[in-house]
């Protein structure tokens, strides 16, 4: 047996208790950032999801697709407008957002999963009344907030061996579409299905007290401490909705939330199936 083979065997042995622990458990994964644009990392994510399902876990994938939306808007001659990091979404922009997220991006992910032996089903918030939404701000147009998640459709899919893949589109009372932050949807979905874990993928290793200083990396903190960091202005704008999603999930009883670097190959498996894990873990505040 070679040294490399021994290492591979040891990794499998190390993974066994985690496979047993999370067998039959639901794990929500927010997929986004560079991991959606790099073909190599995309393939790594897909393989991680498939392996999780194969060993008995119940993954749910939630995704955004900002770069795809920007490319389509550029093709039709529209200029994206942002206010406080949120995309201003008029009716014309909403048509593009829905077409890209629920059509191109979602079906691309579903196709990859199924072409590699998975059993994935693509959803937007309109399907099965999954995500009820309302307007966040008149200034932002069709940008929405999550009012309610209907978990029944997700339970039905999970119970029958499917992998739900959810695009970040919500539905209003009159059937209108809303563009919703995918991080917040992931947190609300994890809360609604009482997930065991919520994993947020991003382009950095996790939370830093000072993003310019690697020594300020935070590997573990409570929900209260995370909220305090936001209040003190120590969390970057792009990281804030991810931290908020973790807090939403924890308050609903989700056991563990993690912010990980999705640009690293097989980062999901490293978080779920190893002793050390990676990234920042946000856990419940002990009362």
Write out the catalytic residue numbers.
Answer: 30, 33, 66, 183, 242
> What does the angle CA 233 – CA 37 – CA 143 come to, to the nearest 5 degrees?
55
The answer to whether 163 touches 116, Cβ cutoff 8 Å, is no
The answer to whether 109 touches 165, Cβ cutoff 8 Å, is yes
Determine which helix (DSSP H) or strand (DSSP E) holds 167, and give its type and residue range. Answer: strand 163-167
Phi, psi of 286 (to 5 degrees): -75, 125
Please choose, from the candidates 175, 201, 212, 214, the residue with its C-alpha nearest in 3D space to the C-alpha of residue 270.
201
Alpha-carbon gap, residue 150 to 129, rounded angstroms: 7
């Amino acid at each position: 047996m070679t040294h490399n083979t021994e290492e591979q065997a040891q990794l499998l042995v190390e993974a066994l208790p985690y496979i047993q622990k999370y067998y039959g458990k639901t794990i929500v994964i927010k997929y986004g950032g560079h991991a959606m644009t790099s073909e190599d990392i995309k393939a790594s994510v897909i393989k991680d999801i498939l392996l999780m399902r194969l060993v008995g876990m119940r993954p749910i994938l939630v995704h955004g697709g900002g770069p795809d939306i920007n490319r389509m808007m550029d093709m039709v001659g529209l200029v994206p407008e942002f206010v406080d990091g949120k995309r201003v979404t008029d009716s014309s922009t909403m048509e593009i957002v829905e077409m890209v997220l629920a059509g191109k991006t979602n079906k691309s992910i579903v196709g990859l999963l199924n072409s590699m032996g998975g059993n994935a089903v693509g959803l937007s918030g309109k399907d099965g009344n999954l995500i009820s939404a309302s307007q966040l701000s008149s200034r932002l147009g069709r940008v929405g907030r999550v009012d309610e998640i209907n978990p029944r459709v997700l339970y039905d899919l999970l119970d029958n061996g499917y992998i739900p893949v959810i695009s970040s589109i919500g539905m209003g009372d009159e059937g209108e579409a809303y563009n919703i932050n995918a991080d917040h949807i992931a947190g609300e979905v994890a809360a609604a299905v009482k997930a065991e874990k919520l994993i947020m993928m991003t382009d950095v290793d996790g939370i830093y007290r000072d993003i310019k200083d690697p020594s300020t990396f935070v590997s573990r903190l409570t929900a209260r401490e995370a909220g305090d960091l936001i209040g003190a202005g120590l969390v970057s704008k792009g990281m804030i909705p991810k931290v908020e999603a973790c807090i939403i999930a924890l308050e609903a009883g989700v056991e563990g939330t993690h912010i990980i670097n999705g640009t690293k190959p097989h980062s999901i498996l490293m978080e779920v199936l190893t002793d050390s894990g990676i990234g920042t873990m946000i856990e419940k505040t002990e009362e």
